[in-house]
Amino acid sequence: MPASSSQSWWLDAIGRIPLLTPAEEIELGTAIQRWQQHPEPCPPGIRRRGMRARDRFVKANLRLAVSYVAKRCNRLARIHGQEDLIQAANMGLITAAERFDPARGYRFSTYAYWWIRQAVGRWADQHGRAITIPGSHSQHLGRIGPITRRLELELLRTPTHQEIAAELGCSMAVLEQVIENGRPVASLDQVIGDDGLELGSLCA
């Protein structure tokens, strides 16, 4: 998707921000965790150092959020617009920076990827539906299709709701609610006939 002039300027600007070295990730991540895990009230010095570390962490990794949207969200970008998805990805990046624990031994990019994907998916669920549904139900809804197709190939028949619920790891009641939440919402102004008849005119 072509970028606007302002977006191109912003992408160029974040591309100039130096990436963090592994040692810098450990140093900044430690400062952030010291701030995040300190009991309230947190001393102002620890809070300021933690917030500065978080901001530097986020700025150095903004291109990671942009890269995820550009490579993984083409369909969503056509529907919602790339800029809004990048903003959602940035919120996931901030959450990742605040929760990243360098003591666990993995690189930040590996950890942040999950939070970015989670934030973009949640934003799309909230803004792509006329009715907002719980986050856990959105995740189940996204898995029902692939699970159903896989079971059809394995069983050589259409799987039952019980079998789908078992694969999802949820109860039948939850599955039925997920399916109900996933039904498309129709507008009462929708024209359903060649004579201009609207759906609302058929409702009692």
Pull the structure tokens for residue 8: 């191109």
Q: What is the mean pLDDT of the chain?
A: 81
Taken as a whole, the chain contains a residue count of 204
Q: Could you tell me how far CA 66 lies from the centroid of its own chain?
A: 13
pLDDT in tens, 146-181: 888 888 998 899 989 999 889 888 888 888 887 776
pLDDT in tens, 1-35: 455 566 677 778 888 899 999 999 999 999 999 99
What is the Cα–Cα distance from 43 to 154, expressed in whole angstroms? 59
| Phi and psi at residue 110, to the nearest 5° | -65, -45
Per-residue pLDDT at 53: 95
SS3 content of the chain, % helix, strand, coil (to 5): 70, 0, 30
pLDDT in tens, 33-74: 999 999 999 999 999 999 999 999 999 999 999 888 888 777
In single-letter form, the type of residue at position 61 comes to N
What is the Cα–Cα distance from 161 to 175, expressed in whole angstroms? 8
Return the H-helix or E-strand segment holding 120: helix 108-127
Pull the structure tokens for residue 74: 């083409």
Q: Is 117 exposed, middle or buried (0-12, 13-18, 19+ CB in 10 A)?
A: middle
Whether residue 41 is preceded by a cis peptide bond, meaning omega within 30 degrees of 0, is yes
Per-residue pLDDT at 1: 47
Tell me if 116 sits within 8 A of 89, measured CB to CB.
Answer: yes
Task: Tell me the mean pLDDT in the region 84-113.
Answer: 90
What is the Cα–Cα distance from 30 to 24, expressed in whole angstroms? 10
